[in-house]
Structure 1
Amino acid sequence: MQTALNNPAIIRFLKSKFKSAGFIDGLKIRYRSLICPFISLIKMVQPGDSVGDVGCGSGQFMLLVSEFATPSYVYGIEISERLVKNANELFSTLPRG
């Protein structure tokens, strides 16, 4: 079942995935969806699309796309090894297609 796409749902979902987030990450979880056009971008994803994020950081946006849309494949490009490691850990629990 696909989750309703709205800011409270995005915030709830991110809080559930990042229960031990530090102060700064907690602020990002609570406020980023209120200032970034996540909903508009996610609505652009059509079922079966492949979706990429250049400068993906820890992969939170691709995680949102995976939860609130039905892409066939998501990928991210990031220069920071630390953030790539974080993204790999974040996605390690998700099913691979």
Structure 2
Amino acid sequence: MLPIIKQVPKDVLLGKDLLVVAEIAQAHDGRVDDAHRLIDAAARAGVDAVKFQTHLAAAESTAREPWRVRFSTRDATRRDYWKRME
């Protein structure tokens, strides 16, 4: 299930420039359709920009690195997860 993004009031800081950025990070779990839905939801909420995270599997984990906290049933190893997110 995708998170619900509420409308962002643009006048939070009256008289100040305000840039509202939606942090999507990896909430899309590597699925392009979910990424597009999150972008669309952020746009409907009135944000100015969205932010994703980029990971390089080879730089962040080894082939045999165990899960610290297992949060994915799709990937056998942590490196597999990072690779899918590249």
Q: Give yes or no for TM over 0.5.
A: no
Which is helix-richer, 1 or 2?
1
TM-score (norm 2): 0.36
* Greater RCO, 1 or 2 (C-alpha within 8 Å, sep 6+): 2
TM-score (norm 1): 0.33
